[in-house]
């Protein structure tokens, strides 16, 4: 691959970690540029104009290729960036149902899991419970219940399967591993979910695995 | 295609409409089975055991194929079902960046757009404002602001592009069209977003287009 891949990230973000873990499992080089989201570094005019008008990280920058005359391109959304990095690899099933089933769990992650499991971790570990707004505080119980529902669904699925989609590791595992393995930082007790605990150990044992920090 | 595709749906759901619109634009047959989510018909023991343990629609059922000896398979998550239906068609770009960029908007739809634009439509049009819980009522303003942010980002993107990803219609347009074109039912004024209004007309003019009801 001639092109340079640059990850614009906050190292504390599980969404950014997904992309680093994907590259690591595939042995691909990935440069990083760090921002502190707590200091608003992804809301500067420069960031909004050049990297992502949505003001969010991660963003995968696909470097300019002078030989081909291409300019840099920017790809927000963690799971889309994982798709780009893993394209053509065994982390994406080749068959029609396998691809759709993997994407099924990646959309589940963004809709049912991340807004609850990751958001509670962010609020409780990084913002701090005493600094939450009344509106945030009012949402804790709903997010706790919805997060437990997502973990329970994963746990039941993993009772009959070593990985989230099909028989081998895919991007569905990477997407869901990122915030599941640190769910206790958001107040979720993983000992309630023994199949998830075994799956976490399975992912951590993969060749090329890197930890989050 | 030998297999029968059956959509388990609630006809009022934009997430279900995405899959019907995908099939219609491709001229593919799609059977439907209707459920009333307001009456809990997707939470019955039969539905949870056979169709989707998550208790949600849409679910795409890929029919058993006796000739190949395969049993029925079930695919939840609207955007994953669209991927399955559109596999190998022009609605999914063939190139690496094009696929990832399309998925970027589909993940944006599930994370930034649907939980705000679709949820407010569901609360205000189907549940009714007077029937909302205090907790739901407390979230209306945050969802209004986040929904406007998602529409504003789409509007700016469509100022320079006829479609959401690349130069032609893709699943990104279908995913975002479903709840954007009925956003006014959730109290969003589309006249604030002229590029979105022109894009809606562009999607409605596509050969094979079907309306939501």
pLDDT digits (tens, 9 = 90+) for B81-132: 999 999 999 999 999 999 999 999 999 999 999 999 999 999 999 999 999 9
- Residue A89 pLDDT exceeds 70: yes
pLDDT score recorded for residue B68: 77
Comparing alpha-carbon positions, the chain A residue that sits nearest to B116 is A111
User: What residues of chain B lie within 8 A of the CB of A71, using their CB?
Assistant: none
Torsion of CA B51, B53, B59, B63, to 10 degrees: -30
Q: Which of A87, A107, A138 sits opposite B96 (nearest CB)?
A: A87
Q: Which residues of chain B have pLDDT under 70?
A: 1-2
d(CA B159, CA A78): 25
- Residue A68 pLDDT exceeds 90: no
pLDDT score recorded for residue B165: 98
Domain A5-86 CATH class label:
alpha beta
B 49-78 near A (Cβ less than 8 A): 53-54, 62, 73, 75-78
A114 touches chain B (CB under 8 A): yes
Beta carbons of A84 and B100 less than 8 Å apart:
yes
- Residue A1 pLDDT exceeds 70: no
Q: Where in chain A is the domain with CATH 1.20.1050.10?
A: 96-204
Torsion of CA A95, A101, A103, A108, to 10 degrees: 180
Which CATH number does the domain A96-204 belong to among 1.10.286.10, 1.10.10.10, 1.10.600.10, 1.20.1050.10?
A: 1.20.1050.10
Q: Where in chain A is the domain with CATH 3.40.30.10?
A: 5-86
pLDDT score recorded for residue A168: 97
d(CA B84, CA B23): 10
- Residue A30 pLDDT exceeds 90: yes
In chain B the beta strands, taken as DSSP E runs, fall at: 5-9, 31-34, 59-62, 73-76
pLDDT score recorded for residue B198: 98
pLDDT score recorded for residue B70: 81
pLDDT score recorded for residue A146: 97
pLDDT score recorded for residue B2: 61
pLDDT score recorded for residue A75: 97
Contact indicator for B176, B150 with CB cutoff of 8 Å: no
pLDDT score recorded for residue B60: 98
For B70, the token pair is 């395969």
Of the listed ranges A36-40, A63-67, A187-191, B188-192, the one predicted with least confidence:
A63-67
Burial B148-160 (b: 16+ CB within 10 A, else e): bebbebbbebbee
Average confidence (pLDDT) over A101-127: 97
Of the listed ranges A61-70, A105-114, A139-148, B179-188, the one predicted with least confidence:
A61-70
d(CA A180, CA A183): 5
Percent of chain A predicted with pLDDT > 90: 90
pLDDT score recorded for residue A110: 98
Q: A–B: how many Cβ contacts below 8 A?
A: 102
Average confidence (pLDDT) over A130-146: 93
pLDDT score recorded for residue B54: 87
- Does ipTM top 0.85? yes
Beta carbons of A83 and B101 less than 8 Å apart:
no
pLDDT score recorded for residue A67: 78
pLDDT score recorded for residue B33: 96
Mean pLDDT of chain A: 95
Average confidence (pLDDT) over A98-121: 98
Give the contacts of B149 (CB within 8 A, at least 6 positions apart): B112
Comparing alpha-carbon positions, the chain A residue that sits nearest to B165 is A75
């Amino acid at each position: 691959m001639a092109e340079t891949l640059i990850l614009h990230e906050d190292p504390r973000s599980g969404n950014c970690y997904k992309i680093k873990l994907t590259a690591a499992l595939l042995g691909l080089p990935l440069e990083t540029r760090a921002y502190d989201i707590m200091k608003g570094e992804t809301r500067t005019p420069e960031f909004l104009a050049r990297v992502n008008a949505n003001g969010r990280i991660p963003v995968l920058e696909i470097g300019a290729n002078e030989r081909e005359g291409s300019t840099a391109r920017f790809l927000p959304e963690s799971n889309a960036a994982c798709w780009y990095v893993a394209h053509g690899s065994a982390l994406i099933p080749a068959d029609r149902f396998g691809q759709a089933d993997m994407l099924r769990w990646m959309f589940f992650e963004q809709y049912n899991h991340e807004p609850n499991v990751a958001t509670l971790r962010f609020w409780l570990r990084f913002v701090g419970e005493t600094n939450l707004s009344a509106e945030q505080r009012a949402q804790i119980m709903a997010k706790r219940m919805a997060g437990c529902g997502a973990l329970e669904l994963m746990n039941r699925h993993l009772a009959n399967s070593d990985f989230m989609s099909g028989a081998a590791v895919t991007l569905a595992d990477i997407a869901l591993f990122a915030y599941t393995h640190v769910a206790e930082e958001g107040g979720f007790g993983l000992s309630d979910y023994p199949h998830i605990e075994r799956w976490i150990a399975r992912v951590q044992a993969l060749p090329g695995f890197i930890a989050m920090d």
